C-alpha cells in the first residue's frame, strides 16, 4: 500500500499505475526450482472452478481443431472452463537462490491479473509458492504436499502444513522518473516467518 504525502503525488502515482509504468517486484519461496532459472511466462488467464470453489487458471492458446477440456474437479460439470473471459498475463521471473528442492524467486508482473503470480508459478512452472494451498493442486483444493526434505528443514509434519502461511512478499516498487528525472525505489522488509524459513531452507538473498 502506498500513501502519497500530498494530492499532487497521489495523482501522479495513480496515473503511473493506470499506464502500467510502476515496476512491482515480488519475492517468494517456491516448492521446486524453476527451470529455466530465468524467463517470461506469457500465458492468458481466466476464472476457472475446482469443484464448488472459484480459482484462476491458465488458458493457453488453441484453435477449434484442438479444443481443450480442463478437468478441475469431480462431477458432471466440474471440469468445464469457460473461455469467454480471459486476460493476457505476463510475468517475468528469475531465481535468486536455490537449494535442494526450494528456491527464492523474484517475479515482476507486467500485467495485473488476480492471483497472476500464484497461478503462473504453480501451473506454468510447476513450482507452487510455499504455503499456497489454493494453487498447489491442479484438480483439487487441499493443503500443500511438501517433499520430506522440506518438512525436515522446517521442522514440521505433513499434517501441520495446512497452517503454513504463504511465502509471497511484495518486496519493492519502482516509480520511474518520479522526481528530478530519478527513479524512486521503495522496498519492504521481509516478514519474520519468511526470513526465518529462508534460513532453515538455506536460501540466501542477493547482496543488492
Please list, in sequence order, all residues whose beta carbon lies within 8 angstroms of the beta carbon of residue 8, skipping any fewer than 6 positions away. Answer: none
Using CB atoms within 10 A of its CB, is residue 47 exposed (0-12), middle (13-18) or buried (19+)?
middle
For the chain, what percent of residues have pLDDT higher than 70? 88
**Measured at the alpha carbon of residue 123, what is the angle toward residues 31 and 73, in degrees to the nearest 5?**
110
CA distances from 3 to 9, 10, 169 (A): 9, 8, 18
CA distances from 130 to 136, 175, 190 (A): 9, 29, 15
User: Could you give the number of structural domains in the chain?
Assistant: 1
Task: Tell me whether residue 206 is in a domain.
Answer: no
Distance CA 107, CA 192 (A): 20
Task: Tell me whether residue 134 is in a domain.
Answer: yes
- What is the rounded average pLDDT of the residues 118-135? 97
Kindly report the average pLDDT of the chain as a whole number. Answer: 87
CATH number for the domain including 158?
Answer: 3.30.2350.10
Q: Is the pLDDT of residue 67 over 90?
A: no
| DSSP notation for 55-66 | EEEE-----GGG
- Put residue 9 in one of left, alpha, beta given phi > 0 → left and psi -120 to 50 → alpha: alpha
Q: Which residue, among 171, 170, 55, has the nearest Cα to 114 in the 3D structure?
A: 55
- What is the rounded average pLDDT of the residues 57-85? 49
Q: Which residue, among 21, 12, 65, 73, has the nearest Cα to 48 in the 3D structure?
A: 73
Q: Is the pLDDT of residue 159 over 50?
A: yes
Task: Tell me whether residue 208 is in a domain.
Answer: no
**Measured at the alpha carbon of residue 80, what is the angle toward residues 75 and 84, in degrees to the nearest 5?**
155
**pLDDT for 145:** 97
* End-to-end CA separation in angstroms for the chain: 23
Task: Tell me whether residue 1 is in a domain.
Answer: no
Q: Which domain holds residue 149?
A: 7-200
**DSSP-assigned letter for residue 129:** B
Distance CA 137, CA 149 (A): 19
Task: Tell me whether residue 205 is in a domain.
Answer: no
Query: What's the length of the chain?
Result: 208
Task: Tell me whether residue 177 is in a domain.
Answer: yes
Amino acid at each position: 500500500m502506498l500513501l502519497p504525502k500530498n494530492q499532487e503525488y497521489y495523482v501522479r502515482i495513480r496515473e503511473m499505475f493506470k499506464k502500467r509504468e510502476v515496476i512491482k517486484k515480488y519475492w517468494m519461496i517456491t516448492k521446486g526450482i524453476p527451470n529455466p532459472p530465468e524467463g517470461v511466462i506469457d500465458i492468458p488467464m481466466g476464472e476457472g472452478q475446482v469443484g464448488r470453489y472459484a480459482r484462476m487458471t491458465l488458458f493457453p492458446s488453441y484453435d477449434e481443431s484442438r479444443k481443450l477440456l480442463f478437468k478441475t474437479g469431480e462431477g458432471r460439470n466440474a471440469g468445464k472452463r469457460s473461455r469467454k473471459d480471459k486476460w493476457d498475463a505476463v510475468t517475468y521471473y528469475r531465481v535468486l537462490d536455490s537449494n535442494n528442492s526450494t528456491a527464492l524467486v523474484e517475479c515482476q508482473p507486467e500485467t495485473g491479473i488476480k492471483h497472476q503470480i500464484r497461478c503462473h508459478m504453480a501451473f506454468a512452472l510447476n513450482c507452487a509458492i510455499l504455503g499456497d494451498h489454493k494453487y498447489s493442486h491442479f484438480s483439487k483444493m487441499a493443503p500443500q504436499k511438501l517433499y520430506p526434505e522440506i518438512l525436515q528443514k522446517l521442522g514440521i509434519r505433513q499434517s501441520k502444513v495446512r497452517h503454513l502461511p504463504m511465502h509471497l512478499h511484495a518486496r519493492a516498487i519502482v516509480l520511474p522518473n518520479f522526481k528530478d528525472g530519478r527513479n524512486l525505489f521503495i522496498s519492504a522488509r521481509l516478514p519474520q516467518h519468511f526470513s526465518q524459513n529462508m534460513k532453515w531452507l538455506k536460501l540466501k538473498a542477493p547482496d543488492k
